[in-house]
Chain A
Amino acid sequence: MFDRLRPAALCLFLAALAAEAQPAPAATKTSGAVRSVMDDTGRTVHVPAQVRRIVSLAPSLTETLFALGVGDRVVGVSDYCNYPAAARSRPRVGAPLNPSLESIAALQPDLVVAAKSANRRETVDELARFGLATYATDAHSVEQVLTSIEHLADALGIAEAGHQLTGALRARLAHLQQQLAGRTPRRVLLVVWHEPLISIGRNTFIADALRYAGASHVIETEQDWPRLSLEEVVRVQPEYLLFAGDHAAAMASLLASLPQRPGWRKLAAVQQHRTLLLDESINRPSPRLLDAIETIARQLHPEAFQQKPAPPTPAAPGFAALRSCAPAGSRTRAGSADWPVSAYAEVNRSRRAER
C-alpha cells in the first residue's frame, strides 16, 4: 500500500509545502526545503530541512532524542516514554502498538519517529499515507544501535551531535572491553517473562549487549522472543538468571518466590542466589543501553573492576574470547568462589534472615 501511495503522499506533501510557502514567507512549519533520507527499514523519508516538532512513538527514541540534545523539540511521546523525567510531561499519543493517529496529526509534527521493535508497521504506513514524514529505526546489535542513532541524528540535521554522542558511547564500550579482556563470559539466561518463560533470540540487540557485558546467552534461537521450555533451562543450567523489566516491585517478589517454584528451584542459579534484576534500560535500544551493559558487566565480573586496569597482555583475546563458549562445568565451579555481592544477593540474604 505504501509503495503505491508513496508518490501520491509525496505530491500531497510537496503541494502542502508549496501552498504554505507562497502566502507566508516565514512559514512556521518548514523552511521549504525537504531532504530525502533512508531510514533503518529502507524506506525513503522526506524530512523537512528544519525539524522543529518531533513525535516519538517509542521509549528508546524519546531517550535518544533527549540524549541528542533535541528533547525540547519533542512535542509528543508514547504512553510508555518515561525517561528522562522531562519526557513524562509531554503530550501523549497512546501506546506504541496502537497510538491514536489523529492525536499525532494534531500535534503537527515535522517528523514522527518510530522503532521497528516497538511499533507496528501498519502505524508507520498509515502515518506516511496521511503525509506525515515518519522515520523508522531498527537495530539488532549494539553496533546497529549506535549507527541507528547516528543515522537518526543525520536525518534531524544534527549529525555532529550524533557523532559526539556515539563517540562517547563507543569509548565507553572500548574501555569496558579492555577491563573485561581475558575474562571468561558468564553463561546467562535473560528472562523477559517467567510464565510462560520467554527469553531473547540471538539476533536481538539485547543478546549482543550481553556479549559486550561479558556474558553469553545459554540458549540461542532464531526467533527474537522465544518461548522456552523450563526443562531445557534446567538442563543447560545458566550461571546467572537476568530478569529484565520495569516493574521493579513485581519482579522483586517474583525473584523471592523462585526457590519455591517448581522447576526454577532446580536451577543452581536460583539455589545460589545468582539472579540479577535489571531495569528497563536493557530493553531499550537507546544510549542508556550502555548503562545496562556496564551494570551487567560489573555484576557478572566484579573482580574486573576492583583492580587497576590490567597491563596489556600479548595477544589479548578480547571479544573473540567473550564470544567463545567453553565447556560449562569447569567455569561454573571456577566462578563460584567469587560471586558478586549484588543488591540482589543482599535482598536474598535479608530474606533468608527473615526465615
Chain B
Amino acid sequence: MKPLTARRVWLICGGMLAALLVSVLIALKLGAVPIPATDLALSLARALVGAEIPADHQLIIFEMRLPRILLAILVGASLAVAGAGFQALLRNPLADPYVLGVSSGAALGAIVSLVLLPRVALASPVAAFLGAVLATTTVYFLGRRGGQLDSHTLLLAGIITASFLSAVIMFLMTTLPSSHLRGMAFWLMGDLSVAPPVSLSVLFMLVAAGAAAIYTTAADLNLLLAGELEALHLGVEVNRVKLVVYLAASLLTGVAVSVSGAVGYVGLIVPHLLRLVFGHDYRLLIPTAAIGGAIALVLADALARTIVAPTELPVGAMTALAGAPMFIYLLRRRMH
C-alpha cells in the first residue's frame, strides 16, 4: 500500500468528485420524460449564465430532478460515512447504519406521528428523527458494559432493539385503522420521491457536521483497527473516540432516515468497495465514502426513477437489488 500523502488524498477525492459530477449529469438526463442531451446541455448552460429557461424544463430539470439528486447526494454520503464509522466502531465488517436499530426507531417515530398528527406533514420526519435518537440512546445504554461501550454488547443490543421495534411497527400497522399508513411501505423501503421538510442547506450542514466529526477521529480509528487495548497503549482516547463516532454516525443515520426512510446497503457496500480499492486508512476512507455513497445513491435513484417508468421504484429496492449481489461477491472474494 502506497503511503498516504495529502497529494494522494486530493487526487483521489478530485477524481471521485469528477465521477460524482458525471453521475449527476446522467441522473439529470434520465427520467420518465425524455429530454434530449442537447436540450439538457442548453438548459444547463442557460441556467449557468442566468438566462431564461423554457418553463417545462425549468420545472422538470431544476425543480423536480435536481433537488432530488441533491437529496440523494446528502443521504448517500451520510449513509456511507455512517457505515464506515459503525464498521470501525464495532470492528465488524457487517455493521451498517441500520444494524443498531436506528432505522427501526425512526420508522416507529414516523408511524406514531402519522397516527397522532396525520395532518401535520412536518411531524413525520421530525418524529422519525426523534425515534432514531431514542433508539440510539437506548442501544447506547444497553451496549455499555462496566461503564464502557463494548462492541459486541452494542451490536447485540442494536440487533435486539431493532427486532423489537420492528415487531411494534408490525403490530401498529396491522391494528391501526388509519389509511395514512399506505405511504409507510415506501418509507420502510427507502424512498426519495418526497422532498424533505427542511431546506437542503440545513440538511447539508447537519451532514457536514456529522461527517467532519467522524473525520477528526480518522487517525485514531486507524489505530483502533489493531484492537482497543493496542490503541489505548498507543495513546488513543478510546472511549472518547467511540462516543464521538457513535453519536456522529447516529446523527448521520437519523438525518438520512428521517428524509428518505430506510435505504439499505449503501452504508454497507460503499465503504467495503472503497477499502478494496484504496486500502484501510480512514483518513482516505471517510472522504471517499462520502463521495462514493453520493455517487451510488444518485445512480440508484436515477435507475429507480426510470427502470419501470413512468412508475417509480422506491430507491431502497434499487440499492438492495444492486447491493445484495455485490455484497455476496465481496464476501466470496474475501474468502479466497
Cross-chain contact B176 with A3 (CB below 8 angstroms): no
Instruction: Let me know if A258 is at the binding interface, CB within 8 A.
Output: no
Q: Contacts A79-B311, A105-B60, A224-B179; is A94 near B122 (CB within 8 Å)?
A: no
**Could you list 8 examples of A-B contacts with CB < 8 Å?**
A4-B122, A92-B310, A94-B309, A100-B312, A126-B193, A126-B195, A203-B177, A222-B177
Residue of A4, A126, A222 near B194 (CB, 8 A) is A126
Instruction: Let me know if B182 is at the binding interface, CB within 8 A.
Output: yes
Cross-chain contact A103 with B314 (CB below 8 angstroms): no
| Extra A-B contacts (6), CB below 8 Å, given A105-B56, A126-B195, A224-B179 | A92-B310, A100-B305, A106-B32, A122-B193, A126-B194, A224-B177
Report B83 CB to chain A, min CB distance, Å: 27
Cross-chain contact A98 with B177 (CB below 8 angstroms): no
Stretch at the interface among A113-121, A270-278, A342-350: A113-121
Cross-chain contact B183 with A121 (CB below 8 angstroms): yes
Main secondary structure on A side of the interface with B: loop
Instruction: Let me know if B64 is at the binding interface, CB within 8 A.
Output: yes
Q: Contacts A120-B183, A222-B177; is A98 near B64 (CB within 8 Å)?
A: no
Report A324 CB to chain B, min CB distance, Å: 25
Residue of A93, A117, A129, A222 near B310 (CB, 8 A) is A93
Q: Contacts A2-B121, A3-B121; is A101 near B194 (CB within 8 Å)?
A: no
Cross-chain contact A120 with B182 (CB below 8 angstroms): yes
Cross-chain contact A95 with B311 (CB below 8 angstroms): yes
Interfacial residues of chain A within 81-125, with CB under 8 A of chain B in the complex: 92-95, 97-103, 105-106, 108, 116-117, 120-122, 125
Residues of B near A323 (CB, < 8 A) are none
Residues of A near B129 (CB, < 8 A) are none
- Which A residues lie at the B interface, using CB under 8 A? 1-4, 16, 79, 92-95, 97-103, 105-106, 108, 116-117, 120-122, 125-126, 129-130, 201, 203, 222-224, 227
Residues of B near A222 (CB, < 8 A) are 177
Interfacial residues of chain B within 298-315, with CB under 8 A of chain A in the complex: 305, 309-314
CB-nearest residue of chain A relative to B174?
A: A227
Q: Contacts A3-B121, A94-B32; is A100 near B309 (CB within 8 Å)?
A: yes
Instruction: Report B103-137 CB contacts with A as 1/0, cut-off 8 Å.
Output: 00000000000000000111000000000000000
Cross-chain contact B56 with A108 (CB below 8 angstroms): yes
CB-nearest residue of chain B relative to A116?
A: B179
Cross-chain contact A98 with B56 (CB below 8 angstroms): no
Report B265 CB to chain A, min CB distance, Å: 20
CB-nearest residue of chain B relative to A76?
A: B310
CB-nearest residue of chain A relative to B55?
A: A16
Report B40 CB to chain A, min CB distance, Å: 13
Residues of B near A129 (CB, < 8 A) are 195
Give the CA-CA distance A274 to B61 in the complex, in Å.
Answer: 56
